[in-house]
Amino acid sequence: MTARERVAGTVANYVDERTGAAAWMKKNLQKVFPDHWSFMLGEVALYSFIILLLSGTFLTFWFDPSMRHVVYEGSYQPLKDVEMSASYASTLHISFDVRGGLLMRQIHHWAALIFMAAIVVHLLRVFFTGAFRKPREFNWILGIALLTLGIVEGFLGYSLPDDLLSGTGIRIAHAIIQSIPVVGTYLSFFAFGGAFPGEIFIPRIYIVHVLLLPGIFLALITVHLMLVWYQKHTQYPGPGRTEKNVVGYPLMPVYMAKAGGFFFIVFGVTAFLGAVASINPIWLYGPYTPGQISAGSQPDWYMGWLDGLVRMAPPIETHAFGHTISWNILLPGLIIPGIIFTGMALYPFIESWISGDKREHHLLDRPRNVPNRTALGVMSLTFMVIAMINGGRIGILVLPPLAFVITKRICLSLQRADRELVLHGKETGRLVMLPHGEFIEVHEELSAEKKFTLTQHEQVKAISLVKEDTGGVLNPKGIRAKLQARFSAANAENIAKPTATEVKELEGGHH
């Protein structure tokens, strides 16, 4: 034993005698985690969250969340002697006069954009592979909560500097709050402490941004990861992988090394972007004054869909009982987002109702094998992208359903291609002339592993509609059962996968 090993042993022993950690660590560090590149998306979200905490803490040392009026005397000459809030002046100070300040601001902002992108792509991975199914529905709902909080946290963050762009964003939020029927005006008075913009909104959202939401994030992410740990991670299908086992590598040393290295890659990429790519150059926008707005005002990307929906809404207002209801803000600003997020949170339950499948699932789906879900996902994505690029009122109504139909057809075609592959093998491009003059292309049979992977999945069956029970009494759940039967028939539309007999027959001889 070398001296170093002896010292390490003594330290470990000292800690273990006082905490009893060794047995716990031995069990958990050997935990097996399945391997797939897409499982790193959640990790990117986690690491960018850590970067946000570190860079954000740095910014709090100099940022002054106050609406106090000051006259700018810092080193950015174009704004010299301009009147502004202390919030804006301190953000300029961080950008121009604090060593490393601009770099930290830019790292913080880039980390926020990457965090949100990682969350969304991670969500898509979980959705398209069916990882949200029983027993992981609760983790899915936690995820939707994290996504929602992420959007709010990002919005509050870029609202803090009190520049012209952030003030414009707050103005939109103010209008959305006011559009709530009956209580809107009171709520906005409560939030802003009186009329817009007031003096207290920024100090308030500062505490929410640096204390309240990060605390909630830390708690929710901890529970999220504990659930992944406890329920075990899902795995992609393949030979040897079943609903009852986990095939992969142990946490220590394989994943510890990978995760540690990967954190530094995410940090490196974020720091590189922060160093070379300008983001939110607030000195170009100037301080916020309610009477001004710049023509090209755009929010951060994860707010773009909401901004697009509000811009796209037709000007509808109704007046009733002395109240004005601005549907043009209420609908795109609150009702549609509410429906989208509630629908997403409830999706695992809706799908299991339609398919009638209440079993646990630890093996993931290949998206093509669940055409309806995949098509619904692409349809929702199309809706969001059209809203984000402000693709027009006709576009937002016509293109998402079109995306549904096209995606479903593509999935079914891919299923057909899989069936062909299993039954007839891969095309090799080698043409051969048979003795009687016919040309054929030689097909190469798939390996047993590949055949297994392409055919191991279960195909959903439609629920048959039960109109009467055994005693001849009409089903009291008539309409619900009808709806369920209709959805489940659409859900069960699939290309029949090859049966064992079909494969055997073909293996017996011809192509």
Residue 173: CB minimum distance to ligand HEM, A: 22
Spatial contact of 33 and 228, defined as CB atoms under 8 Å apart: no
Residue 49: CB minimum distance to ligand HEM, A: 6
Q: Which of 16, 35, 43, 199 binds ligand HEM (CB under 6 A)?
A: 43
Residue 163, classed as helix, strand or coil, is strand
Nearer to ligand HEM, 141 or 279 (CB): 141
Contacts with ligand HEM in 141-170 (CB under 6 A)?
143-144, 146-147
Cα separation, 328 vs 231, in Å, equals 44
Q: Is 63 in the site for ligand HEM (CB under 6 A)?
A: no
> What binding mask, one character per residue, do residues 323-362 give for ligand HEM by CB under 6 A, x or -?
----------------------------------------
Burial category of 348 from C-beta neighbours within 10 Å (exposed 0-12, middle 13-18, buried 19 and up): buried
Strand ranges (E), 54-109: 69-71, 83-85
Contacts with ligand HEM in 164-223 (CB under 6 A)?
221
Q: Within a 10 A sphere around the Cβ of 220, how many other Cβ atoms?
A: 15
Cα separation, 135 vs 243, in Å, equals 12
* Binding region for ligand HEM (CB under 6 A) out of 39-47, 75-83, 287-295, 328-336: 39-47
Q: Is 140 in the site for ligand HEM (CB under 6 A)?
A: yes
Q: Is 312 in the site for ligand HEM (CB under 6 A)?
A: no
Report the residue number whose CB is nearest to ligand HEM.
143
User: Per the structure block, which two tokens stand in for 318?
Assistant: 């109704």
- State residue 372 phi and psi, 5-degree precision: -65, -45
Residue 260: CB minimum distance to ligand HEM, A: 14
CA angle 83, 88, 89 (to 5 degrees): 65
Residue 309: CB minimum distance to ligand HEM, A: 20
Nearer to ligand HEM, 200 or 221 (CB): 221
Cα separation, 213 vs 108, in Å, equals 16
Cα Rg of the chain (Å, integer): 29
Cis peptide bond upstream of 253, omega within 30 = yes
Q: How many residues bind ligand HEM (CB under 6 A)?
A: 25
Contacts of 142 (CB under 8 A, 6+ apart): 220, 223, 224, 227
Q: Is 41 in the site for ligand HEM (CB under 6 A)?
A: yes
Q: Which of 93, 209, 233, 361 binds ligand HEM (CB under 6 A)?
A: 233
Nearer to ligand HEM, 146 or 177 (CB): 146
Q: Among candidates 323, 326, 377, 333, which has minimal Cα distance to 351?
A: 377
Q: Is 224 in the site for ligand HEM (CB under 6 A)?
A: yes
Q: Is 131 in the site for ligand HEM (CB under 6 A)?
A: yes
Residues that bind ligand HEM (CB under 6 A): 39, 41-43, 45-46, 49, 119, 122-123, 126, 131-132, 136, 139-140, 143-144, 146-147, 221, 224, 228, 233-234
